[in-house]
Structure 1
Amino acid sequence: MNKFNARKLIFRVIVILSLLVAAYFIIPVSMPLLFAGISAFFLEPIVMFFKRRWKMSRKIAVAFIYIVSVMVISIICYLSITQIMSQIILLSKQAPYYISKLSDMWLHMQENISKYTEDFPPEVSASLQKTTMDFIKKVEEFFLSFFNYSKVSAFFSEIPSLFISLLVYMIALFLFMLDLPKLKQITYKYLKPNTAKKIKIILNRLKDATFGYMKAHLFVSFIIGGVTLIGLLLIQPKYAITMTIIIWLIDIVPFLGSIIILAPWGLYHLLMGNTAIAVKLFILAAILLIIRRVVEPKLMGDHIGLSTLPTLIAMFIGLQLFGIIGLLVGPFVIIFFIALKETGVIKLNFKI
């Protein structure tokens, strides 16, 4: 290697390291801008659809979609904040009542635990009671530590900065949506034609997979919502509609699930002595979990362009390696790998 090539290599390494260091410090404080750019990228097909379908100019199409987005975000924020504040005020007024009810419930749970374990051998009975009490105590400590004064105060102190971030996000979203074609042209100007073509293919593949994922997840959530409504109408009709809406809203979030509501609800009835209702709720939770784990990989595979088996393997390995986030990341890693292979960036033409 001559001196010129060595200097060129050193210069490239320095530039790459400098960019990585800059990204390490800049990205955490630029999350609203980053999310705005990503949102604009995924809203671009909708903008193009409006332009083609109703012969709109780009500015009018962007303005229309932006206004609708602002209205939806504003309604969600308004409802969320008003509900949180009203619930906090209501909770503060009814705190003495809830404290007395919790004391009664605690005594009732202790009686039920003793009743359930009275026919067991003394050692087993003592061990089960101790394990149950330790678990309940940990749950109690968790809630007390989670809802303590300092954390509640810290949460409310973050609200102004969240509003500022939201405002920056909304302004940046409009500007990104408006100037996205220009930004693409500027980016592709610094790329070779072949490289630009490959990047376009990869981005289109990931974009199609993202929309496919969203459609599949929404469809699964509607199935789970329907099954939940039928199940709760048979178990506890009084709360069926309200709890179905709550479970559906929680289940539609990719990283959460219906079991977060049904499992504690069933545990509560079990400790209160309502064994039949508890068993039914546990069975409903198991059915919903089976639906999600069996139906979801099939629908995900159909909508994101993978067969069921690779989707299931990717979701399972992603879960094992990265936790809940891996359920979402896993399939996209395979899609990204396939896109790289299709564009020739990765070549696997070998035989053993």
Structure 2
Amino acid sequence: MDSLLFKRVLRGLWVVLAGAVLLLALYVLLPLIYPLLLAWMLAYLIHPLVLILKGFKLPGWLAVSLSLLFYIGGTALVLTALITRLVKELIVLLQTFDLHTGEWRDLLLSISRNASIQNIINQINQFYHENPGYHDTIDSNINRTTETVGNAVTELITGFFNMILKLISALPSLGTILMVIVLAAFFISTGWERHNARLTALLPPPLVRPVSEIWSDLRKALVGYLRAQVVLISVTAAIVIIGLLLLGVNSAFVIGLTIGLVDMVPYVGVGVVLFPWALYSYMTGDLGLAIGLLVLYAVILITRQVLEPKVLASSIGLDPLTMLIGMFAGLQLFGMLGLLLGPVLLVILDAFNRAGVFRALHSYIVSGKLH
């Protein structure tokens, strides 16, 4: 093998090995240091308010304490109000379901008595009679399908209750972790400039500028991505809530929030809720509600088509198609969590590319020098 090619291959293997070691270190250390990372993020969020309070000649510890109290207390107050409202509307929604149980039973009975359905049932019975050999096979497949569906439903319900039990049992440890995060955020924030200077001093001089550029891009892109998602979800939820209130639907608040969250799912969106609802309303004779739901879906679809490219492009700087590909790839690799992880990883890779990291690695592999 040519000497130059051999050296390039070795440098390429070294880069791959260093990347694998870095990822392994993150995988091992992240469960141990994530409270510290969350504390640093909290300190970063409250830092602007701390600076404002210090401008009023308050001591540093008091400015940090008031900022933490404002952020944590405000978040707890908003979450308490939202949860209270959601619980109230969920109770109303469950009561509404109980009221409509009779209507659904009558609807199923009317469907089963339909002439077309009866004709299909008669044809199936005739097929059974004319082909007795298929009877056992069909019954076996039906039983197997029923058993599979039953097991899936049982596992779903069991998993749900197990999740609740794990959450309840984890409350003491969650409280401890939250206390550690708040205390660490307090100490980090009181010595913000000193801690950041120490972190910067740990970096080799050639890496200071690239790391600073990467952090600047990541901060803008990730905050922009979160802002874009909040804006899009809020717009969808607001349109749904207003539309359902105009249509006279009960529990419009909780339904609107749910549909707003569902709108995050690519390809599916709000149609997975509004279309079946409109179809059910039409079948039950509520033509006005069915038409209203379809009009509401059209309004949401047009609004999203107009807003989404502009919001994503202005907040993140990535093409909407690229973001969609990232969401789909994340969904395939990591499940529902990948809908958030996919775009975040794209943003991180884009920040590395803008900072010239990939170009520098390519230069190192080819020439042995970082440029």
> What TM-score does the superposition give when structure 2 sets the normalisation length?
0.64
Tell me what 1:208 maps to. Answer: 220
Distance 2:113 2:25 in 1: 63
What's the secondary structure of 2:358's corresponding residue? coil
Tell me what 1:40 maps to. Answer: 43
- Counterpart mapping for 1:104-123 below 5 A: 104=102, 107-114=105-112, 118=116, 122=120
**Maintained 8 Å contact 2:274/2:297:** yes
**TM-aligned CA deviation for residue 228 of structure 1:** 1.7
Q: Which amino acid aligns with 2:75?
A: I
Deviations 1:272-291 (A, max 9, x none): 56465356435634653564
Q: Taking every aligned residue pair, what percent have the same amino acid on both sides?
A: 26
Distance 1:116 1:325 in 2: 44
Distance 2:163 2:354 in 1: 49
> Does residue 284 in structure 1 map to residue 287 in structure 2?
no
Distance 1:339 1:149 in 2: 41
What's the secondary structure of 2:359's corresponding residue? coil
CA gap 1:245/1:57 in 2 versus in 1, 3 angstroms: farther
**Maintained 8 Å contact 2:233/2:263:** no
Distance 2:352 2:166 in 1: 44
**TM-aligned CA deviation for residue 186 of structure 1:** 1.9
- Bigger Cα displacement from structure 2, 254-263 vs 59-68: 254-263
Deviations 1:174-193 (A, max 9, x none): 23333343332222212122
**TM-aligned CA deviation for residue 323 of structure 1:** 4.1
> Does residue 303 in structure 1 map to residue 315 in structure 2?
yes
CA gap 1:167/1:119 in 2 versus in 1, 3 angstroms: same
- Bigger Cα displacement from structure 2, 333-342 vs 280-289: 280-289
Deviations 1:161-201 (A, max 9, x none): 33333333333332333334333222221212220221111
Deviations 1:271-330 (A, max 9, x none): 756465356435634653564466324311111223444444444444454444444334
Q: Which amino acid aligns with 1:35?
A: L
Distance 1:190 1:124 in 2: 80
**Maintained 8 Å contact 1:319/1:327:** yes
CA gap 1:321/1:81 in 2 versus in 1, 3 angstroms: closer
- Counterpart mapping for 1:332-347 below 5 A: 332-347=344-359
**Maintained 8 Å contact 1:118/1:125:** no
**Maintained 8 Å contact 1:247/1:258:** no
**Maintained 8 Å contact 1:33/1:172:** yes
**Maintained 8 Å contact 2:233/2:261:** yes
CA RMSD of aligned residues (A): 5.1
Q: Which amino acid aligns with 1:73?
A: T
Deviations 1:108-140 (A, max 9, x none): 3422442678368616997xxx9xx97xx7699
Q: Which amino acid aligns with 2:318?
A: L
Tell me what 1:27 maps to. Answer: 30
CA gap 1:288/1:320 in 2 versus in 1, 3 angstroms: farther
**TM-aligned CA deviation for residue 207 of structure 1:** 0.8
Tell me what 2:66 maps to. Answer: 64
**Alignment partner of 2:169 out of 157, 160, 163:** 157
Distance 1:124 1:41 in 2: 70
Distance 2:97 2:307 in 1: 42
Tell me what 1:232 maps to. Answer: 244
Deviations 1:89-126 (A, max 9, x none): x79xxx9x999768645633422442678368616997
CA gap 1:69/1:48 in 2 versus in 1, 3 angstroms: closer
Q: Which amino acid aligns with 2:208?
A: A
**TM-aligned CA deviation for residue 219 of structure 1:** 2.7
Distance 2:123 2:289 in 1: 24
What's the secondary structure of 1:237's corresponding residue? coil
**TM-aligned CA deviation for residue 264 of structure 1:** 6.9
Structure 1 gaps of 5+ residues are 1-9
Tell me what 1:4 maps to. Answer: none
Distance 2:115 2:290 in 1: 17
- Bigger Cα displacement from structure 2, 276-285 vs 252-261: 252-261
Distance 1:221 1:49 in 2: 31
**Maintained 8 Å contact 1:341/1:347:** yes
- Counterpart mapping for 1:176-255 below 5 A: 176-234=188-246, 236-239=247-250, 242-244=251-253, 246-248=255-257, 251=260
**TM-aligned CA deviation for residue 72 of structure 1:** 1.8
Distance 2:294 2:241 in 1: 15
CA gap 1:72/1:50 in 2 versus in 1, 3 angstroms: same
CA gap 1:308/1:185 in 2 versus in 1, 3 angstroms: same
**Maintained 8 Å contact 1:216/1:299:** yes
The total of aligned residue pairs comes to 325
Tell me what 2:129 maps to. Answer: none
Radius of gyration: which is bigger? 2
Distance 1:262 1:316 in 2: 23
